[in-house]
């Protein structure tokens, strides 16, 4: 995965509260391997009618939203299940940034691990962006991880990002490599645990 | 004297291997995997890494498994492939598997504890958000994504930001016909579906202590629906009595050694929490949801919310959209809303005790609508049959099927048809959760059983009069 520090792209408003992981990707698509690409399943049942025809009025289906990489939504985005496929669907559809007042914790962690920024904004800022994007239609915006800002026209919104999260996004780090540098600490922890609480290994219990 | 500590801090500190910035690297005691964990295994295979601790890794087939005709090969090729992949991974990496036809099979959050694999003081992870269930034992239990699943498989550790500690205290006796599901939906309705975001919740108070292990698991299970990272209950005699003698629980001297530690696992009297919330048990009534988020919950005696009375326009829009999807009319009583089907199952409410509660209502009565009961595990199924509960359900006209996630998420094809209204003991009333266009009302097993009998949403309490819950 390649990292990034700044991103410029088209922002689109999705003024909905509580877009949960079951909306982001309905369960029935998750048995498919990732290699097939999950972009077409993104918000599948919100974007389409029962016959699978796209709803022309849905914000992401409008022609001017084509190629949008920044989505601005309302509170509790990505609440619900741990399915990382929700992030895959966004990524595979070309999305790099979700800006919203709050996120499901597991979703936010999964997003960072896949190079997708969950930018947590003040509610007023999210509403201001939504108002502008609703009035004028999708607009170019610029996200700067180091400054912690999302800028769109005259609007400049701040989001909080921990150092660890910023580094992961910027470096496209794979945690497994990072963690293996701590292998001595892990081995020491394990050894102490095995000495103090050997019963924690269930193989030593009866079956 | 060391500073007073919360249970959460005690458990967290005991698992920190090292720290970097604001993240801690935590040791994992139990890693449950299921057939839906295939993305995680694929990432491990890409790097050609082995599973670091096969003894601490346990596989369970639950999310996609058929709930009928298990003697036949699985019809759906995608599902057959996933179940086979899990078996192959278990074989290749040498971890234990409760596979499709194993008597220990069941929904991971039911079958794991039942086998005595979840113990007080453990850190439990699984690629499933309802891993919060395991906190009922005084454990740290939380869900992780596929990238983290691969990380745990490879290193037996996971990086996490330390959540803040919150205590949710519920004091007083619960009324008859009111249980853990109602407690959970009541607090989620009060605080919101993201109300406990960023927090680890310790459930405390006499109403929590009085709960059985099944009730505590239901309560902790739903922590994630209130946005909490995890939920927990300090272990006590109820916990220890439940665990003793289970297949993988320690025994003899190891049991005594474990108990010596387990007894220290509680919050100090003067421990300070980042946040405190209290609820009065006497005020909790049987709850049903009316909308498309678990926070959309009200007592069964209430009326459908009216968006025109909501001052916040975003909130009003959300209510309007939810009512439109659910096909409900503002201001009408919830009680009496006709339903099309019932589902009793899931990791929230399909333990033996839940089935007994449903049977207490259904005994000698007929369901007016079709319905399905999928026990939380194959062991629960066997026990329920010994007690004759299956006969009560069948005589009521409901289907008694095998154990799995089933209609909670519909991945195995057990779906609520479009537009149908389902009284369900599950945990998520999200749009389309039980199938495209399905309308889900969450409630307790007793309330779902009562809804089956009435053919409509109804208060279970009158139907419970003069009946004992086994
Ligand atoms: S029963 Fe439902 S909520 Fe529980 S693990 Fe299965 S799919 Fe998830």
Reported as a single tens digit per residue, the pLDDT across B288-298 is 999 999 999 99
Contact B433 A164 (CB under 8 A): no
pTM: 0.96
Q: Which of B189, B182, B230, B241 lies closest to B207 in space, CA to CA? A: B182
**pLDDT at residue A198, as a whole number:** 95
Q: Which residues contact B260 (CB under 8 A, 6 or more apart)?
A: none
Do residues B198 and B166 lie in contact, with contact meaning Cβ atoms separated by under 8 Å?
A: no
**pLDDT at residue A206, as a whole number:** 45
Contact A105 B436 (CB under 8 A): no
Domains of chain B, start order: 7-162 (3.30.499.10), 164-236+267-283 (3.40.1060.10), 287-464 (3.30.499.10)
Reported as a single tens digit per residue, the pLDDT across B339-398 is 999 999 999 999 999 999 999 999 999 999 999 999 999 999 999 999 999 999 999 999
Tokens encoding A104: 């499901």
Mean pLDDT, residues A150-159 taken together: 97
Q: Which of B39, B63, B51 lies closest to B111 in space, CA to CA? A: B63
Reported as a single tens digit per residue, the pLDDT across B187-239 is 999 999 999 999 999 999 999 999 999 999 999 999 999 999 999 999 999 99
Q: Which of B196, B201, B227, B229 lies closest to B216 in space, CA to CA? A: B201
Rounded-to-integer distance, Cα B26 and Cα B152, Å: 10
Which residues on B lie below 8 Å from A17 (Cβ)?
A: 314-315, 317-318
- Tell me if chain B has a CB within 8 Å of the CB of A22: yes
Rounded-to-integer distance, Cα A67 and Cα A70, Å: 9
Which chain B residue has the Cα nearest residue A179?
Answer: B155
Probe ligand 1: pick from B35, B67, B127, B130, max atoms within 8 Å of CB? B130
**pLDDT mean across residues, chain B:** 96
Provide the shortest C-alpha distance from residue B90 to chain A (in Å): 15
Q: Most B CBs within 10 Å: which of A89, A167, A175, as the mutation test of the B interface? A: A175
* Ranges of each domain in chain A: 6-172, 174-207
Q: Does the CB atom of residue B427 touch ligand 1 within 6 A?
A: yes
The CA B296 to ligand 1 mean position distance, Å, reads: 20
Contact B21 A162 (CB under 8 A): yes
Q: Which residues contact A104 (CB under 8 A, 6 or more apart)?
A: A20, A21, A76, A77, A78, A79, A80, B194, B197, B227
Whether the per-residue pLDDT at B26 is higher than 50: the answer is yes
The CA B130 to ligand 1 mean position distance, Å, reads: 7
Which residues on A lie below 8 Å from B22 (Cβ)?
A: 162-164
- HSE-CB of B171 using CA atoms within 13 angstroms: 3
Annotation-wise, does B408 bind a ligand?
yes
Fold of A6-172: Aconitase; domain 4 (3.20.19)
Mean pLDDT, residues A114-120 taken together: 97
Q: How far is CA A173 from CA A144, A167, B39, B465, in A?
A: 18, 8, 18, 61
Q: Is B303 helix (H, G, I), strand (E, B) or coil?
A: strand
Provide the shortest C-alpha distance from residue B56 to chain A (in Å): 7
End-to-end alpha carbon distance in chain B: 47
Reported as a single tens digit per residue, the pLDDT across B65-119 is 999 999 999 999 999 999 999 999 999 999 999 999 999 999 999 999 999 999 9
Rounded-to-integer distance, Cα B166 and Cα A88, Å: 32
Q: Which residues contact B420 (CB under 8 A, 6 or more apart)?
A: B340, B341, B437, B438, B439
Q: Which of A8, A108, A190 lies closest to B144 in space, CA to CA? A: A108
Q: Whose CA is nearest to atom 4 of ligand 1?
A: B347
Nearest to A186 among B129, B157, B163 (CB): B157
Write the secondary structure of chain A as one string of H (helix), E (strand) and C (coil): CCCCCEEEEEEEEECCCCCCHHHHCCHHHCCCCHHHCCHHHCCHHHHECCCCCECCCCHHHCHHHCCCCEEEECCCECCCCCCCHHHHHHHHCCCCEEEECCECHHHHHHHHHCCCEEEECCHHHHHHHHHHHHHHCCEEEEEECCCCEEEECCEEEECECCHHHHHHHHHCCCHHHHHHCCHHHHHHHHHHHHHHCHHHCHHHCCC
Place of tokens 């190079």: A115
Q: Does the CB atom of residue B409 touch ligand 1 within 6 A?
A: yes
Q: Does the CB atom of residue B405 touch ligand 1 within 6 A?
A: yes
Q: Using alpha carbons only, give the angle A122, B227, B37 rounded to the nearest 5 degrees.
A: 115
Rounded-to-integer distance, Cα A127 and Cα A138, Å: 15
Q: Which atom of ligand 1 is nearest to the CA of B409?
A: 7
Place of tokens 């003991």: B425
The CA B127 to ligand 1 mean position distance, Å, reads: 11
Annotation-wise, does B126 bind a ligand?
no
Whether the per-residue pLDDT at A204 is higher than 70: the answer is no
């Amino acid at each position: 995965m390649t990292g990034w520090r700044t991103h410029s792209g088209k922002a689109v408003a999705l003024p909905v509260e509580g877009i949960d992981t079951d909306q982001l990707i309905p369960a029935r698509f998750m048995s498919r391997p990732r290699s097939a690409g999950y972009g077409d399943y993104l918000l599948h049942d919100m974007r389409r009618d029962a016959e699978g025809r796209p709803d022309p009025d849905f914000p992401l289906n409008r022609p001017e939203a084509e190629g949008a990489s920044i989505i601005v939504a309302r509170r509790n985005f990505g609440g619900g299940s741990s399915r990382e496929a929700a992030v895959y669907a966004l990524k595979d559809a070309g999305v790099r940034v979700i800006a919203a007042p709050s996120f499901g914790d597991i979703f936010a962690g999964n997003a960072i691990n896949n190079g997708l920024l969950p930018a947590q904004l003040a509610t007023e800022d999210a509403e201001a962006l939504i108002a502008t994007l609703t009035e004028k239609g999708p607009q170019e915006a610029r996200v700067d991880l180091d400054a912690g800002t999302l800028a769109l026209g005259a609007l400049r919104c701040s989001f909080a990002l921990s150092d660890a999260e910023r580094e992961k996004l910027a470096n496209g780090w794979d945690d497994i490599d990072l963690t293996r540098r701590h292998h001595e600490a892990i081995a020491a922890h394990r050894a102490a645990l095995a000495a103090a609480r050997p019963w924690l290994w269930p193989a030593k219990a009866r079956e | 004297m060391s500073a007073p500590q919360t249970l959460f801090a005690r458990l967290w500190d005991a698992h920190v291997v090292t720290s970097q910035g604001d993240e801690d690297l935590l040791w994992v005691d139990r890693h449950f995997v299921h057939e839906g964990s295939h993305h995680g295994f694929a990432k491990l295979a890409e790097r050609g890494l082995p599973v670091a601790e096969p003894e601490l890794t346990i596989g369970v087939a639950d999310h996609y498994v058929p709930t009928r005709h298990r003697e036949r090969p699985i019809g759906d090729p995608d599902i057959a492939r996933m179940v086979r992949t899990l078996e192959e991974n278990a074989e290749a990496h040498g971890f234990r598997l409760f596979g499709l036809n194993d008597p220990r099979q069941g929904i991971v959050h039911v079958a794991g504890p039942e086998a005595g694999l979840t113990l007080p003081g453990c850190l439990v992870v699984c690629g499933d958000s309802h891993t919060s269930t395991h906190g009922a034992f005084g454990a740290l239990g939380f869900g992780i994504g596929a990238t983290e699943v691969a990380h745990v498989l490879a290193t037996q550790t996971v990086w996490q930001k330390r959540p803040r500690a919150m205590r949710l205290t519920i004091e007083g006796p619960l009324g008859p016909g009111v249980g853990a599901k109602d407690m959970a939906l009541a607090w989620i309705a009060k605080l919101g579906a993201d109300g406990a975001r960023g927090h680890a919740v310790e459930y405390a108070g006499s109403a929590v202590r009085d709960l059985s292990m099944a009730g505590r698991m239901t309560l902790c299970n739903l922590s994630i629906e209130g946005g909490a990272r995890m939920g927990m209950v300090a272990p006590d005699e109820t916990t220890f009595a439940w665990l003793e003698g289970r297949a993988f629980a320690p025994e003899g001297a190891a049991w005594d050694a474990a108990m010596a530690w387990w007894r220290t696992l509680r919050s100090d009297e003067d421990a300070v929490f980042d946040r405190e919330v209290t609820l009065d048990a006497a005020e909790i009534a049987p709850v049903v949801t009316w909308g498309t988020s678990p926070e959309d919950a009200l007592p069964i005696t209430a009326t459908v919310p009216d968006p025109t009375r909501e001052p916040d326009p975003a909130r009003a829009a959300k209510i309007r959209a939810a009512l439109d999807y659910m096909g409900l009319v503002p201001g009408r009583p919830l009680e009496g809303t006709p339903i099309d089907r019932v589902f009793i199952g899931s990791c929230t409410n399909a333990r033996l005790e839940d089935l007994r509660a449903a049977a207490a209502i259904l005994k000698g009565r007929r369901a007016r609508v079709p319905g399905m009961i999928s026990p939380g595990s194959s062991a629960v199924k066997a026990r329920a049959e010994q007690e004759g509960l299956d006969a009560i359900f069948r005589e009521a006209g409901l289907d008694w099927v095998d154990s799995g996630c089933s209609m909670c998420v519909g991945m195995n094809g057990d779906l609520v048809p479009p537009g149908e209204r389902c009284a369900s003991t599950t945990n998520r009333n999200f749009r389309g959760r039980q199938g495209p266009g399905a309308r889900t009302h969450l409630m307790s097993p007793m309330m779902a059983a009562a809804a089956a009998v009435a053919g409509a949403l109804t208060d279970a309490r009158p139907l419970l009069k003069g009946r004992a819950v086994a």
